[in-house]
Amino acid sequence: MRIRTLTGAVAAVLVLSGPVVGGQAVAVRTADSAAPPGETRVLTYDAGRAGEFASAVDRGAEIWNDSVDAVELRPAASGEPADIRIVVVDGWPRTVPGGLGSGTVYFGRDAVADGHSTVRIAAHELGHVLGLPDRKPGPCSELMSGASAGPSCASARPNAAERAEVEKKFERAPAGLFM
Ligand SMILES: [Zn+2]
C-alpha cells in the first residue's frame, strides 16, 4: 500500500502498512518531487582468480566506468567480499548472475584460443552482470552480440542503447520507493 500525497485539511483515517512515526504529522510529498538523486552504485569485483585475464578484466571494468554513470566497478579490497567474481576456466566464457550487479564470470579460455578479444570478452561478461542479455547474432558495434560478431571484432564498448539500458536498470531506486 502506498500513500503518495496528502493534501488539504480534511481529516482522514489512514491505514498504514508500514511503520508509523509516533505523534508526527505525515509529511506531504508534492507531486512534482524530483526524481531520486542519481547515486552511483559501487560494485566490487575480484579478479584474483582471473589468471592471465586479470588485466583484461580491469580494462573491461574501466570501459564500463567510462561508459555509464549509474554504476562504478572497482576491485574489491583484500579480504573484502566481492559482488562479482571472475574465474578463469577452460571452455567458453559464461556468466552466472547472482542478481543485478552480482555474479560469477567464468572467463573461458576457448574463446581466446579462437582469437576473440580478451577485453571484449571481459566487457561483455560484465555486461551480463549489469543486467544485459545476449543479443546474438549482432554486429560488432554491439557489445552483447558477443562472439557472434566474429573473432576479428575487438570493439569492447557498449553502444548507446546498451549504455542506456544499464543506466536505467541501476537508476531505479530500491524496489518500491519511487514510481
Ligand atoms: Zn554473453
Predicted pLDDT at 95: 98
Average pLDDT score over residue span 77-99: 96
Residue 65, domain member (yes or no):
yes
Tell me, yes or no, whether 11 and 86 share the same domain: no
**Mean pLDDT value across residues 84-90:** 98
C-alpha 18 – ligand 1 centre gap (Å): 41
147 CA from centroid of ligand 1 (Å)? 8
Same domain for 52 and 99? yes
With a CB cutoff of 8 Å and minimum separation 6, the contacts of 126 are 45, 57, 60, 61, 64, 73, 84, 105
Phi, psi (rounded to 5 degrees) for 72:
-130, 125
Residues whose Cβ atom is located within 5 A of ion ligand 1? 134, 146
Q: Please enumerate in sequence order all residues whose Cβ is within 8 A of that of 179, keeping only pairs 6 or more positions apart, or say none.
A: 4
State the distance from the centre of ligand 1 to the C-alpha of 162, rounded, in angstroms: 13
pLDDT attached to residue 39:
83
Number of domains in the chain: 2
- Banded model confidence at residue 133, pLDDT cuts 50, 70, 90: very high
Residue 21 has pLDDT above 60, yes or no: no
Q: Are residues 121 and 150 in the same domain?
A: yes
> Which are the contacts of 25, defined by CB distance < 8 A and separation ≥ 6?
none
Q: Residue 17 belongs to what domain range?
A: 2-30
Q: Residue 149: which CATH number? A: 3.40.390.10
Kindly report, residue by residue over 42-82, the tens digit of the pLDDT.
Answer: 999 999 999 999 999 999 999 999 999 999 999 999 999 99
User: 38 pLDDT exceeds 80?
Assistant: no
